[in-house]
A and B are shown apart, each in its own frame.
Chain A
Amino acid sequence: MKFLRLIRTAIRALLRNITRALLTMLGIVIGIAAVIAMMEIGQGASTAIQRTISSMGSNTLLVMPGAQRSGGVSMGAGSNLTLTESDCDAIVRECPDVRQAAVIVRTSSQVIYGNRNWTPHDLYGTSPDYLDVRDWQNLAEGDTFSDRDVRNGAKVCLIGQTVKRELFQGESPIGKEIRIRNVTFRVVGVLSQKGANLMGMDQDDIILAPWTTIRYRISNQRSSSSGSSSSSSSSSSNSVNTLSNLYPSTGVVLYPEKSAVQQADNPMPVRFANVDQIILAARSAASIRTAMSQITELLRERHRLAADEDDDFQIRDMTELTNTLASTSRLMTRLLLFVALISLIVGGVGIMNIMLVSVTERTREIGLRMAVGARTYDILLQFLIEAVILCLLGGIIGIALGRGASTIVSVVLRWPTQISVDAIVLSVVVACAVGMVFGFYPAWRASRLDPIEALRYE
């Protein structure tokens, strides 16, 4: 009740001199407006930067089969065959923090077109989702292959810019046929330029084809070419590809053929649906951790691993990139915070100045109020409340102005902006705090006045 009266008194005192009140408010209005506009534009920019970095693959995770051990000798990562396409489907379906996933079957081979040949760095069998995972949907030419092509094992492929340059030399590759290990693939699209990755490897030196085609027609042909991903079971796919009989394989066999006893000792799983890797994209940089734990849980369950068994797969993330991303966004946030802080302090000092002037100007009023019975804290509170009301009102007007400014910027300049609820809440709180802190000194000065002196003040 008492407090309500004080608030009313303060409001009335403010209304008594609206010009002065508006001038006092101006500092904080500009301060808060600057904060809001900066935060929204800055956050938009920050998001844009993060999106750019994440298109480099910072949100990308790689699931590899675990290492196979044979009598204490590890065969290295990916030597075991545990991942299947249905694992990939399950991950997309059941892990909420995974945005998209694609299987990868890797192989390496010479590619021939006409009288030219080239050995691409990456020859991937995958699904169309791969482009989504890699953020690579905008093709330079043509179109991607479809899920149906994957199901049918169609002989189509996408080629990277480097492959196009090496094989086609300015010719349009769309519809042309290239030969990979004597299997003809029709080029349906050309990927856009991606450049080198962080390790300096050319990402455009790539051919993508349906993973079923690569798996059954290419990589199972020769046991040596794709490491242990093929096995003696590949004989079945050999019979599919009749061309391979035309040109007998002359690959170097590094290891002597296993005897029947050895094979019985080390049985290789026969699973045609095996894939070499699953590449997937987390929803955001922040959800990488949770995505990894969701995948781990899911795959352990799917692979029926007992609690004490080691994972039969590994998940790799792009730690370096993720860290870069995190530090970039941290830097942006700090920068914005500094700018915000400075403008708020400037606004607060402005408020304090005008409040001090106002106290001097209203000395007689303060003296009178004291003479008719205002206690020191009545005066203190009145001036504090005045300051806080000014700051709050100024804050609200500032928020409106700042939002307006950022909207204009986003409409006119087409900069990305983002509503920052944090900034709005923060600036209201800060506005009140500024009012309290910078209003306190003038209010304290006012409450210290001697009523006799104050009444005599001219």
Chain B
Amino acid sequence: MDLIQLHDIWKIYRLGDLDVPVLKGITLTVAQGETVSLMGASGSGKSTLMNILGCLDHPTSGQYLLEGRDVTKLSVNERADLRNRKIGFVFQNFNLLARTSALENVVLPLEYHHHGLTRHESIERAKRLLDRVGLSDRMHHQPSQLSGGQQQRVAIARSLINEPSILFADEPTGNLDSRTSGEILEMFQQLNAEDGITIMLVTHDPDVAHHARRVIHIRDGCVDGDLVGHATVAGGGERP
């Protein structure tokens, strides 16, 4: 089944009397378990598209089905619930809470929907996830005591705590050096392979984009190209 179905999505911002269309009729589908890159120059509308896909924003017109359910008509709070249960976010600047341990940061989404877990179970799950991203010895460190790559891994663990079906990564390697970038991107591929989580990378960097099996180019608010397959050849591990 298709996880995401977009049909003729428009997003128009009003600046004074001027209508500025940012997305001009985007139609695309993403299947469960795909890895997709959204590529485009800044100002192309890729961030706006990701916000809509991530249910942070709603389109001006068009239809968006997430797991077959129309989410364009949902209220602010219903979207918040949806984000909590289905969607994980990884940001360029990590967005970890300062002066808060890695463990507490990972548990954070469970404060809003605990999925029937007790506090103890939540902590256990967070510990497992931190272990999985290779930070089992840094659980009680605060973000300021972690390197950029480690912070991003905490953020990944946080995005996974609700067992989402899709993970949005907005320029996840933008603030990292190339070596840690490679590690992070590999981690995404690993999650996709092992858990079947759909990964959506938003980037302007072709090298990063090519870690995904499918690359969608956005230009001036329209889908400019949709390539499947070739990216796997240039996969992270095989790069020089």
Binding site for B on A (CB under 8 A): 5-6, 8-9, 12, 16-17, 364-365, 367-378, 451-452, 455
Residue of A nearest to B82 (CB): A373
A12-B104, A378-B112, A452-B51 known; A371+B89 contact, CB < 8 A: yes
Min Cβ gap A100→B in Å is 65
Q: Which residues of B contact A6 (CB under 8 A)?
A: 111
Residue of A nearest to B89 (CB): A371
Min Cβ gap A381→B in Å is 11
Q: B97 near A: Cβ within 8 Å? A: yes
Q: How far is the CA of A371 from the CA of B51 in the complex (A)?
A: 10
A455 touches B114 (CB 8 A): no
Q: B140 near A: Cβ within 8 Å? A: no
Min Cβ gap B171→A in Å is 12
B57 touches A373 (CB 8 A): no
* Interface residues as binary, B74-85 with A (CB distance below 8 Å gives 1, 0 otherwise): 001100110111
Residue of B nearest to A377 (CB): B77
Q: How far is the CA of A369 from the CA of B113 in the complex (A)?
A: 12
Q: Which residues of B contact A365 (CB under 8 A)?
A: 97
A16-B99, A455-B91 known; A5+B57 contact, CB < 8 A: no
Number of A-B contacts (CB under 8 A): 62
A5-B111, A452-B51, A452-B56 known; A374+B95 contact, CB < 8 A: no
Q: Which residues of A contact B111 (CB under 8 A)?
A: 5-6, 8-9, 374
Q: How far is the CA of A365 from the CA of B108 in the complex (A)?
A: 11
A16 touches B56 (CB 8 A): no
| Range of interface residues on B (Cβ < 8 Å) | 20 to 34
Within 8 A of A (CB), among B54-92: 54, 56-57, 76-77, 80-81, 83-85, 89, 91
Min Cβ gap B111→A in Å is 5
Q: B211 near A: Cβ within 8 Å? A: no
A375-B81, A378-B112 known; A364+B95 contact, CB < 8 A: yes
A12-B104, A16-B97, A16-B98 known; A371+B77 contact, CB < 8 A: no
B99 touches A455 (CB 8 A): no
B83 touches A371 (CB 8 A): yes
A370-B80, A376-B76 known; A455+B95 contact, CB < 8 A: yes
A373 touches B80 (CB 8 A): yes
A373 touches B81 (CB 8 A): yes
A373 touches B109 (CB 8 A): yes
A451-B56, A452-B56 known; A16+B100 contact, CB < 8 A: yes
Q: How far is the CA of A371 from the CA of B81 in the complex (A)?
A: 10
Residue of B nearest to A370 (CB): B80
Residue of B nearest to A16 (CB): B99
Beyond A371-B54, A372-B109, list 11 extra A-B contacts (CB 8 Å). Answer: A9-B111, A369-B112, A372-B108, A373-B80, A373-B84, A373-B109, A374-B112, A375-B77, A377-B77, A452-B57, A455-B91
Q: Which residues of A contact B81 (CB under 8 A)?
A: 373, 375
A372 touches B83 (CB 8 A): yes
A368 touches B83 (CB 8 A): no
Min Cβ gap B14→A in Å is 15
- Among B84, B89, B99, B111, max chain A CB count under 10 A is at B111
Min Cβ gap A401→B in Å is 28
Q: B153 near A: Cβ within 8 Å? A: no
Q: How far is the CA of A160 from the CA of B70 in the complex (A)?
A: 100
A371 touches B112 (CB 8 A): no
Q: B158 near A: Cβ within 8 Å? A: yes
A9-B111, A452-B57, A455-B91 known; A372+B97 contact, CB < 8 A: no
Min Cβ gap A436→B in Å is 22
A369 touches B51 (CB 8 A): no
Q: How far is the CA of A56 from the CA of B80 in the complex (A)?
A: 72
Residue of B nearest to A15 (CB): B99
Q: How far is the CA of A389 from the CA of B224 in the complex (A)?
A: 53
A371 touches B158 (CB 8 A): no
Q: Which residues of A contact B76 (CB under 8 A)?
A: 375-376
Min Cβ gap A370→B in Å is 7
B84 touches A372 (CB 8 A): yes
A373-B109, A373-B113, A452-B56 known; A368+B95 contact, CB < 8 A: yes
A373 touches B114 (CB 8 A): no
Min Cβ gap A371→B in Å is 5
A17 touches B99 (CB 8 A): yes
- Residue pairs across A and B with Cβ atoms less than 8 A apart, 20 shown, are A5-B111, A6-B111, A16-B97, A16-B100, A364-B95, A365-B97, A367-B95, A368-B108, A369-B112, A371-B56, A371-B83, A371-B95, A372-B83, A372-B158, A373-B81, A373-B84, A374-B111, A376-B80, A451-B56, A452-B57
